[in-house]
Amino acid sequence: MRRLVILTAATLVAASAAYAQNADAIKQRREAMRTIAQAGGEPFRMMRGELPFNMAPVQAVLKAIQDNADKFKAGFPDDSKTGSTDATAKVWEARAEFNAIIDKWAADAKTTAAAITDESTFKVEYPKLAATCGSCHGARGGYAPGLSDSFKRMQTPLQ
């Protein structure tokens, strides 16, 4: 009986440690994406014509992508498949493809930052970057829910 209690306790401790690691990874990737989504609020509304063009928020979101892409990509260890996450199983099933999309996204943000010099270049270049976002969020069976749903969720505080 004593062995059973010790074995059960050890199993619970191991499971708790695995869960904590899982929760930390999910929190890391959600915080990275939240930073990007919050910085992207104004440029998104500019694209829709709801706000006038302003270069500062555009450059801020492009910098946020560049600064957080690696943190985001690193936030998907194998033990973070479950929990408070919107990521689909495809992240882990097609890891190389997923990582390539994140790398392209960061590179596109850098290219876009150099290309946008005014409102007219913003209207041409920024939608190209948004299309890269759609690589994960756009299609059914993608890596995450639709871009609009994810964007709205990232505007609210982490729970």
Residue 116 corresponds to which amino acid? Answer: I
Q: With respect to residue 159, please indicate whether it lies within any of the assigned structural domains.
A: no
Instruction: Provide the terminal-to-terminal Cα distance of the chain, rounded to the nearest Å.
Output: 40
Mean pLDDT of the chain: 83
CATH code, 149: 1.20.120.10
Which is higher by pLDDT, 24 or 136?
24
Q: Which residue has the tokens 């994406």?
A: 33
In a domain, residue 68? The reply is yes
Into how many domains does the chain fold? 1
Helix residue ranges, H only, the chain: 2-39, 41-47, 55-74, 90-93, 95-115, 119-137, 147-154
- What's the confidence (pLDDT) of residue 141? 59
Q: How far apart are CA 25 and CA 27, in angstroms?
A: 5
Q: Is residue 83 part of a domain?
A: yes
* Half-sphere exposure in the Cβ direction for 75 (13 Å, CA): 20
The answer to whether the beta carbons of residues 69 and 105 sit under 8 Å apart is yes
Is 118 part of a structural domain of the chain?
yes
Residue 60 identity (one-letter amino acid)? A
pLDDT(148) > 70: no
pLDDT tens figures, 102-117 = 999 999 999 999 999 9
C-alpha–C-alpha distance, residues 51 and 44, integer Å: 9
Q: In the predicted model, is pLDDT for residue 55 greater than 90?
A: yes
Q: Report if residue 8 sits inside a domain.
A: yes
Expressed as residue numbers, the domain containing 133 is 2-154
| Residue from 90, 83, 41, 86 nearest 61 by CA | 41
pLDDT tens per residue, range 66-116? 999 999 999 999 999 888 888 889 999 999 999 999 999 999 999 999 999
pLDDT at 19 over 50: no
